[in-house]
Structure 1
Amino acid sequence: EDYQVFESAAAGADALLLIVAALDDATLARLLTLAEDELGMDVLVEVHTAEELGRASEAGARIVGVNNRDLHTFEVSLETSVELATRAPCGSLLVSESGLRDAADIARLRACGFNAFLVGETLMRAERPEEALRSLVTRGGDA
């Protein structure tokens, strides 16, 4: 809701996450406009399906996060990012989220047009997270 966006900005947040699956079209567009145009925040608009990507595009999303994890089944597939990259709005910044295991995954998605990557579980499970991150960045094409 609007007040949460205002609270985030007042707390010093530079960015926020809007999950398309959790919002109707009017709310998505309103919150995106409020955060970006009125408060100067960056907004990561998260999608998982082509339909959600279309809704994000219609709302004017500039930063699109493709969640490779299906939030209904919790199954993870990088093919979600590969497929949706071809449908993303021209000029949008693309973020691939979840399921990235190694530098090869990042290199593959970078070749599909992704600009940034959200990596969590791989780093949390790594015995030496700093080395895992270094490997992802250097071998994944400066992710």
Structure 2
Amino acid sequence: MPLAEILGSIQRSELYVVHIGRQNGPRVATLTVDDRASDLRWTEDERRDAARYVHKLYVVPRVAPGLGSALLDWAGRHAAGAGAEWLRLDVWTENRRLRQYYEDQGFSLVRVVGGLDSGALYQRPSTTCVERDPSLIIVDSTTEYVPPPSEP
């Protein structure tokens, strides 16, 4: 993902970083939730649907079991609060383990788009929740970006 795209997500308050315990605690997860559907993946009719899209979901392994599920549920509530009917995402087509994970989280396969690595398209109603530990709802939008130091 190009830096300009990441910065745009930050500026639009679409990029979220999850910390343990407090805002300056260790970062354990990140995700982006937005309303922009890929023209390469979603049909014109689907792009007109009231939907939010999860991108770049990453959870540090074994730090907070159930956090991924809780974040997807949070994203669904966030989407529903914005008037979206669907929570959608795309998954690497060949990653059967990850695809099964999303299916276990209540997502249904819409279709597989040929010719794209990340062409397995999934969706679930934004109101679906499968979280196992409601205490894991600890997400705040990240709106700051600190660029790396300039090279001398």
Same-fold status (TM-score > 0.5): no
Q: Which has the higher helix share?
A: 1
**Structure with bigger RCO (C-alpha 8 Å, 6+ apart):** 2
Q: Which has the higher strand share?
A: 2
Q: TM-score scaled to structure 1, two decimals? A: 0.31
